[in-house]
Structure formats: structure tokens, C-alpha cells
Structure 1
Amino acid sequence: MLDASYYEKTDEIIACHTREERSLIPIIQDIQEEYRYLPPELLSYVAGKIGISEAKAFSVASFYENFSFEAKGKYVIKVCDGTACHVRKSIPILEGLYKELGLNKDKHTTDDQLFTVETVSCLGACGLAPAVMINDEVYGKMTPEKMSELIKKLREE
């Protein structure tokens, strides 16, 4: 069960949009931006507030890969495993992150909620391969060693 403050903030977000079905995506984008994930309870709450079924809201949110129902860390690290990055050794970067952060294919977020590690098919930065994105910033020509230094720097912030 979520704290009442989550629902109050969601009411503020809904108030910035029209209470129509077409506002679902912008509303849940704003919620995810606020909390770094989309709490399922809030998706149900929004559905009721804008007059659509929970099933419709969940089908829309689960269709788009960008929405996450699981809490993410302060720093979301996306390791590209597209063809160019894979060929230029993105997997050792991913394996190094898993080892350094105590994560694996099934556990994506550190216990302290500081880091989340994901793989993506393409970051659109093939010329910088292997590439990694941390939140909204792309880092190219990455190596496991450079990644480890970057993690240390982020921990200090």
C-alpha cells in the first residue's frame, strides 16, 4: 500500500491534464518521471479518475517498454547490446557491472536503490560502440575499466 502522498501527487499530475482516455499516457509518463517507475496502485487509481477500465490502463502501460512497474535506482544504466556494441564487447561491460554492483539477469536494482542495470537493443549511438546510457547521458567507447571508474564517481555524488 502506498503512502497518501503518492495519491496527492498523482492528483496534482492528473489536474495538469484532461480527464480523458487520451491523457493516460502523458499522465503515467509524469508519474514515472516523478517516482522513476509506475506503481501499479497508481495506474489503477488513474484509470478510475479518468474513467477507463484498469484492464485498459494496464494494457497500454504494459505495451510500451518504457514503462516499468518495478522501482528503479537513482542511476539507470542501459548497456547497449545491439550488433555494433555486441561486436565491440558490450557483454564484458555488463558482466563487470553485475559483479561490481551485486546484480544479475534477475536482479536489476541495487539494494540501496542507487543503480539499475538494463540491457537495450540499441541506443542509436553505433559510432560510439560500445555505448552505455546513464539516465539521459550517453557514454561511448566504454570499457569495463571505464565503467568501473564511472560507478565510483557516481557513488561519490
Structure 2
Amino acid sequence: MCLSASTIESLKTICGKFDNDPKELINILHAVQELVGYLPKEVQEIVAEQLRIPLSKVYGVVTFYSFFTMAPKGKYPISVCLGTACYVRGAEKVLDEFKNLLKIKVGETTADGLFSLDCLRCVGACGFSPVVLVDKKVYVRMTPEKVRDVLNDFYSL
């Protein structure tokens, strides 16, 4: 990835808003990921340089926390909850239907860049399980039969 001069300046500005404090690494990474969409090596290098910490520390945080990603996400990221309540109520079958219809695996993005597919452990809505998040929209009591309708909210299959 080749970062533009304006993106590099924006990354430095974000770090500066947190006083280039290494203790603010997670907050900085959230803000940076919001700006760029993901955290490729080039972005991590700039953050490490600005905070005066080893790249390995930045990389360690990025790879430890599941909400950070080093790969670009689709325009509409899909997250299927696989927490206990969701799993028991059929979330795995819902996930399989997303994989089938989108023709991608977990962690991948569709060729058109519209959708990416991931799993998460709990969204705190166990009473409405299974739960799926698409972009910032929450879908509750999901079934495999509802997956096509969810995707149709964003484009027609």
C-alpha cells in the first residue's frame, strides 16, 4: 500500500491528538483504522514512529485484538455472533448461508468489495440471538432463510 502525503499527515495528526503517548496506542489504532479502514504495515510503521515504540509492539496489539484488521474490509462488513447463546440457536448455519451466498470464507471480502465476513464472540444481545451486524445495522433472531433478505437490504442478489 502506498500512502498519500495527506494520509500520512492525518495519521500524524491523530497520534498528536493523543500527545504521541504510547499508553494511548489502542485509542490511536481505533482512530487510525476509522480513517484508513484497516491497519496495514505501512500505517503501523507510522504509528510506531510517532509514538517512539517498536513496530513489534504495534503489530502485537493489532493482531491480539479482533476488532483490528490488517486486511481491507468490504463496504458493508458482516459480523456473525458466535457467542454461546447465538451458537446454540443456530448462528453457525446463518454463517454458512452468508458464506454460501457471498462465495467467501470468514476473513475474506467479496471480489466487488461490497461485503466482508467475520465472526465475533458476543454483542450483548443474547435474548435476541442469533445476532448479525451488517455495517452498523443489527439483525436479530437470524435464520439461514433470512440471510438473502439481509443482503438484499444492501444490494440485490
**How much has 1:60 moved relative to structure 2?**
2.3
Identity score, percent: 35
Deviation for aligned residue 1:39: 1.7
Tell me which residue corresponds to 1:103. Answer: 104
Matches of 2:91 and 2:26, distance apart in 1? 32
SS of residue paired to 2:117: strand
Q: Which runs of no fewer than 5 residues in structure 1 stay unpaired?
A: none
**1:93 maps to which residue?**
94
Contact 1:36-1:73 at 8 Å conserved across structures: no
Indicate the residue corresponding to 2:34 in structure 1. 33
1:83 is aligned to 84
Q: 2:21 is matched with which residue? A: 20
Rounded to whole Å, the distance in 2 between the matches of 1:95 and 1:60 is 29
Q: Which residue of 1 aligns with 2:140?
A: 140
C-alpha displacement at 1:77, in angstroms?
Answer: 1.0
How far the C-alpha of 1:129 sits from its partner, in A, is: 1.1
Q: Partners in 2 of 1:46 and 1:98 — Cα distance?
A: 34
Q: TM-score, normalised by structure 1?
A: 0.88
Q: What's the TM-score, normalizing by structure 2?
A: 0.88
Residues 1:151 and 2:154 are matched in the alignment:
no
Once residues 17 and 78 of structure 1 are traced to their aligned partners in structure 2, the CA distance between those partners, rounded to angstroms, is: 29
Consecutive aligned runs of 4 or more in structure 1 exceeding 6 Å deviation: none
Aligned counterparts of 1:116 and 1:10: Cα–Cα separation in 2: 24
Contact 1:39/1:69, CA 8 A, preserved across alignment: yes
Aligned-residue offset at 1:87? 2.1
Give the equivalent residue in structure 2 for 1:130.
130
Deviation readout 1:33-84 (Å, 9 max, x if unpaired): 1222112211111111121111122122222221111111111111112222
2-structure distance, mates of 1:29, 1:87: 31
Which sections of structure 2, spanning at least 5 residues, go unmatched? none
Q: Secondary structure at the match of 2:130?
A: coil
Distance 2:53 2:133 in 1: 35
129-138 or 29-38, which deviates more: 129-138
- Distance in 1 (CA, whole Å) between partners of 2:26 and 2:74 is 22
Query: What letter corresponds to residue 145 of structure 1 in structure 2?
Result: E
SS of equivalent to 1:70: coil
Letter in 1 for 2:52: G
Size of the aligned set, in residue pairs, is 155
